[in-house]
Amino acid sequence: MRLSDITSKKFEDERKNIDIVVIPVGSLEAHGQHLPLGTDIFAPGLICDRIEKRMGDRAWIAPGISYGQSDSLSVYPGTITIPSEVMAEYVFYVGKSFYDQGVKKIILMNGHGGNVVALRLAAEKLSRIGAAAVVVNWWMDYLDDILTITKTRGHAGEDESSAMMYYNEDLVDMSTLFTNNHKSKYRVYFPNSGLVDLKHAITGDPTEASREKGEKIFDMLEEKMCELITFMENEEYLVNND
């Protein structure tokens, strides 16, 4: 059920039945020269659209958080970044407010790698006040499934480009493609690291991307997210089957 579309009274009537909220989280940042700046906003948003259509009476769908930590890509035009510590606090207080409103289970549907540290910290803090919080990084948590659809993955690579072609091909310009197969031996944080590790604002190879692959990715993600919501509903995370 999309929170932005209902009244306060509707929320009051329904919150006794729905104790799960899905919050899409993204970033505004460069994705090569072929994908839109909003790629990391659009992907989790579409996943949430599919959840709402299929499980709208079982989970709240919250408005998205569209800005994130993107320090490494801030060397490229159009990238907006906020520090991880600031983002962690913001997301925590959004989650805390849901908790205070009686929504005790929080799914952070993340579309951007730079957000991972902040969201994990926010989830840890939410657990301390009594909430059950989970961070889903779709391109990472379901990597094995993605690689049954695409040969490779990466930032603005084959998987993400396919996802955006399915989302809206009019936003994708496949006439200007770069590849970047650089893999650093160690994760070193240094000024302007994006010019080295994320040359051309990309990792991987988008040249084999297709709309059909993108559709298969989102079909898979819909199934996985519905499984997760059921898992949270049943509180299976409290059970150790060993």
The mean pLDDT of 20-34, rounded to a whole number, is: 98
What is the Cα Rg of the chain in Å? 18
- Output the pLDDT for position 214: 98
Which residues have a Cβ under 8 Å from the Cβ of 37 and sit 6 or more positions away?
A: 28, 29, 30, 31, 78, 79
The mean pLDDT of 202-214, rounded to a whole number, is: 96
- Output the pLDDT for position 241: 80
The mean pLDDT of 191-209, rounded to a whole number, is: 94
Which residues have a Cβ under 8 Å from the Cβ of 67 and sit 6 or more positions away?
A: 27, 28, 80, 81, 82, 87
- Output the pLDDT for position 88: 98
Residue range 35-59, pLDDT digits in tens: 999 999 999 999 999 999 999 899 9
Tell me the C-alpha distance between 82 and 237, whole Å.
Answer: 32
What's the burial of 163, exposed, middle or buried (CB within 10 Å: 0-12/13-18/19+)? Answer: buried
- Output the pLDDT for position 242: 75
pLDDT category at 240 given cuts 50, 70, 90 is confident
Domain ranges of the chain: 3-235
- The hierarchical CATH code for the domain 3-235 is 3.40.50.10310
pLDDT category at 1 given cuts 50, 70, 90 is very high
Residue range 62-92, pLDDT digits in tens: 999 999 999 999 999 999 999 999 999 999 9
Q: Would you say the pTM of this structure is higher than 0.85?
A: yes
- Output the pLDDT for position 210: 97
Q: Which two tokens stand for residue 216?
A: 């298969």
Residue range 98-125, pLDDT digits in tens: 999 999 999 999 999 999 999 999 999 9
